Structure 1
Amino acid sequence: MDAAPFQSEKQQAADWFRTLRDRIVAGFEGLEDSHAAGPFADQPPGRFEVTETRRKSDDGGDAGGGLMSVMRGGRVFEKVGVNVSQVYGTLAPRAQAAMAARKGIPGMAEDPRFWASGISLVAHMQNPHAPAVHMNTRMFWTPHAWWFGGGSDLNPCIEYAEDTAHFHATQKAHLGPHGAELYPRLKAWADEYFFIPHRGRARGVGGIFMDDHCTGDWQADFALTRDIGNAFLPAFLPLVEKRRTQSFSDADKDAQLIHRGLYAEYNLVYDRGTKFGLETGHDANAVLMSLPPLAKWV
């Protein structure tokens, strides 16, 4: 695959991830501003701290970077990170071997050059009734192939059936234009992917997930990726607006911290994105942004 024809596509994808990042940051800061009653309402509204990240190649040259946006100690969000990145260069041997072994990514064993861009988000909430959430979408390119991946999943420590139903129904509606068979397949993929084998349980109530997605029609695959991103705010914000004012007990907070322990275990042991970020030399703080501010184990 010639690199030149994909310059426009790569730029479109990177621009979209940045646009989605800006919309989410504005929406989350809006939640902070509008939280005028209930727990934590007497605190100042939270704001994102934005840090530029840079990735260096093995020879010390520029290999891309991104923006790490983190809010800590807000009225609604105890810790939330929204990162975007655009990185490129050659994969380190371990990452190259892992990518070469994956179905649908030809040529990686012979040619380690790559380009990747995406958005990654994890939100840990102040109120244990409000669910934690994860979302990411990304595009990966090599001289031999390209693919999209990502999704979002809900991680409540106190589950409400109506919240779970709303989250899934919103995602289903956004995926509907891409084929009736798509939502059930991506939901089942999320159930399989966001499972913690050593605990024998899922880390949350699921969502949607895909990886190595390439139908051969870049525009169609990009449109699907955009709609996965577009589903996020309408799926998640109403749940926070409903739960952020509820009172909670010490037992509720304890349940939240224990559930966060599960989240940390999954991200450190199994998550592909964490492994890829660390193995390709990306900023470790940005890669580990997903970890909760506080957690506990029984």
Structure 2
Amino acid sequence: MHSGAMETEKQTAAEWFGHLRDEITTAFEAVEDSQHSGPGAERPAGRFERTPTRRTGTDGEDAGGGLACIMRGGRVFEKVGVNVSTVHGKLGERAIASMAARGVPGVEEDPRFWASGISLVAHMQNPHVPAVHMNTRMFWTPAAWWFGGGADLNPCLPYEEDTAHFHAELKRHLDPHGEGHYPRLKDWADEYFFIPHRGRARGVGGVFMDDHCTGDWAEDFALTQDIGRAFLPAYLPLIERRRGMDWGEAEKEAQLIHRGLYAEYNLVYDRGTKFGLATGHDPDAVLMSLPPMAKWR
């Protein structure tokens, strides 16, 4: 990993994450507008509420923030968040220990950091439409920089053709950067999104990476952008395919139980949740990934 001030690169990355947020929120509101018949059509079309978020540093100083975009109770989306943040400050002891254990150099000597990224989680009204997660981010310290993130599908009622389409789009967007990327990041996602205490995966996988730095910032950023660009073509056709399907109590029960599984993972294992809470970011923004309703057996 290599670093330096990188002010231009930081600004470029932060602006890109904001651009991706705007593209996705526009597409999701269009989905709401187009649900003219079938389940949920009687409700008003959902709209994102946009709320600025702030982070307070360890010494009480302003340490950046972002914009939380949350839609609740729509025709198609029960709850979806598309949040972007750009934060800075000094890493706390737990974050330093975690990064040092992963081999990130220099954090123990100089704990300053800067981070920017987009985080998306969608929980759907219709149990046949899969939940989904996507995030991409850039992280900088005086001694290192890297990218991370990915996308994964979380259906409670899996359909093989939906899983195949989602993975095919991810592969199509990653292959131009080298055909080895997709299989490697798919395996990483399978490992990362595994729930040890349940002995099973959170969903049907996707791609995931962290600490990604080849030393070529432009190429690493381009790879990260294409993970983000893959999201809408990977996911929107699945909404279109499933949103008109009828469902009843049995399907809703399966959805609520699966959401409990999702909540367990995010609260116990997810690296982003732990980092956000440990570094003082707005807890409502950090925990926007949690479903509006869930159930445990």
Q: TM > 0.5 between the two?
A: yes
**TM-score, normalized by length of structure 1?**
0.98
Partner of 1:209: 208
Aligned Cα root-mean-square deviation (Å): 0.8
| Segments of 4+ moved more than 2 angstroms | 1-4
| Paired AA for residue 148 in structure 2 | G
Distance 2:99 2:130 in 1: 33
Partner of 1:241: 240
Aligned residues: 296
1:54 matches 2:54:
yes
1:15 matches 2:15:
yes
Distance 1:259 1:121 in 2: 18
User: Could you list the per-position Cα deviations for residues 89-117 of structure 1 after superposition, in whole angstroms to 9, with x for gaps in the alignment?
Assistant: 101111111112113x1001111000000
Distance 1:267 1:60 in 2: 27
1:154-233 equivalence runs, <5 A: 154-233=153-232
**Alpha-carbon shift at residue 30 of structure 1 (Å):** 0.5
| Paired AA for residue 110 in structure 1 | E
Asked whether the equivalents of residues 120 and 289 of structure 2 are also in contact (C-alpha less than 8 Å), the reply is yes
Distance 1:56 1:47 in 2: 29
Matched-pair identity in %: 74
SS at match of 1:259: helix
**Alpha-carbon shift at residue 59 of structure 1 (Å):** 2.2
Partner of 1:90: 90
SS at match of 1:128: coil
Point out where structure 1 has 5 or more consecutive residues left out of the alignment: none
SS at match of 1:231: helix
Distance 1:56 1:286 in 2: 14
Distance 1:76 1:226 in 2: 27
**Alpha-carbon shift at residue 58 of structure 1 (Å):** 2.1
SS at match of 1:71: strand
Distance 2:202 2:260 in 1: 10
Instruction: Say if 1:196 and 1:49 are closer, same or farther in 2 by CA, change over 3 A.
Output: same
| Paired AA for residue 133 in structure 2 | H
SS at match of 2:108: coil
Partner of 1:295: 294
Partner of 2:29: 29
Partner of 1:280: 279
Partner of 1:142: 141
Partner of 1:64: 64
SS at match of 1:288: helix
SS at match of 1:165: helix
Asked whether the equivalents of residues 3 and 141 of structure 2 are also in contact (C-alpha less than 8 Å), the reply is no
| Paired AA for residue 82 in structure 1 | V
Instruction: Say if 1:195 and 1:2 are closer, same or farther in 2 by CA, change over 3 A.
Output: closer
**TM-score, normalized by length of structure 2?**
0.98
**Alpha-carbon shift at residue 185 of structure 1 (Å):** 0.3
Distance 1:232 1:64 in 2: 27
Point out where structure 2 has 5 or more consecutive residues left out of the alignment: none
| Paired AA for residue 225 in structure 2 | R
